[in-house]
Amino acid sequence: MPIPTAPAPGDTADALIVAHGAPSDPTPQEAVLKTLARRVADHLPGWRVKGATLAAEGALENALDGMSAPFVYPFFMAEGWFTGTNLPRRLNQAGVTDALQLRPFGTDPALPAVMARAARAGASKAGMTPAQTALVIAAHGSGVSRRSADSTHAMVTQLTRIGEFAQVIPGFIEEPPYLADIARDIGPALCLPFFALSAGHVIDDIPMALEQAGFSGPTLLPIGQAEETPAMISAALRHARATGHKGPSRRSAAP
């Protein structure tokens, strides 16, 4: 089922899409967030939508300037310290006490269906039959918090229920099961990175792990760069505007 994009009459609000960013080189990801915000705004006529990273000094505060009761969409893959502690604190320090913070991108209930469609399209482009292909979900993981892996495992469960691929397997960069191990001798497979942005792990660690594993299947763009992502984010923002809630709990979604 396509994600609805038609705006409701008089549907106006302020929204901010926030990602972590790269402290060592914040400019490229700042540009990506601003582009994403413009694409989301295309689906939300009348809305003011901005994008910012936490890493770029002053970017969050500048984006919030002049906003009224903004809807804040965390472009993160899991709940954690950044979404649960750091971002609310930064909003409060910026004098924004009336924001409604939505659930993170990686836990958005519409994402499993978007992931399934992206994987199906990637398989088709590579001439692969999903029912005879393993889908490897490359994710961050963490040696400190379980929330990153929990979000990935929840996504794997949803994609397994959708049932198009022979198997859906998570592989992590920072905890077992490591991507370099699960991608070895796996047979026909493609890899879909469970990341919001093409940076860091996506550019360096995932290709390195797959090369180490001798993985020969295609690697798709990270799901945050999927064509459907702006429409999905706009739908979540519109739902929050209509209901005053951060969004429904994750449920099985038809692809």
Q: What is the pLDDT of residue 116?
A: 97
Average pLDDT in the 245-254 region?
48
CA separation for the pair 255, 75 (Å, rounded): 22
**Model confidence over 189-229: pLDDT tens digits?**
999 999 998 877 798 999 999 999 999 999 999 999 999 99
Q: Kindly list the distances between the CA atom of residue 77 and the CA atoms of 93, 123, 139, 210, in Å, as whole numbers in the listed order.
A: 24, 23, 9, 21
What values do phi and psi take at 22, rounded to 5?
A: -115, 110
Q: Which amino acid is at 241?
A: R
Q: Is the pLDDT of residue 7 over 80?
A: no
Q: Which amino acid is at 197?
A: L
Local confidence band at 73 (pLDDT 50, 70, 90 cut-offs): very high
What is the pLDDT of the chain when averaged over all its residues?
89
CA quadruple 44, 45, 46, 48: dihedral positive or negative? positive
More confident of the two residues 146 and 51: 51
Q: What is the pLDDT of residue 2?
A: 39
More confident of the two residues 245 and 5: 245
User: Token pair 């972590």 is at which residue?
Assistant: 20
**Model confidence over 167-176: pLDDT tens digits?**
999 999 989 9
What is the pTM assigned to this prediction?
Answer: 0.89
DSSP secondary structure, 124-164, as one string: HHTT--GGG-EEEEEE---SS-SHHHHHHHHHHHHHHHH--
Q: For residues 44-65, b (16+ Cβ closer than 10 Å) or e, as one string?
A: beebbbbbbbbbbeebbeebbe
All domains of the chain, ordered by start, with CATH?
14-107+226-243 (3.40.50.1400), 111-224 (3.40.50.1400)
**Model confidence over 107-158: pLDDT tens digits?**
999 999 999 999 999 999 999 999 999 999 999 987 666 777 999 999 999 9
Q: What is the pLDDT of residue 85?
A: 92
Pairing of strands 48-53, 14-19: parallel
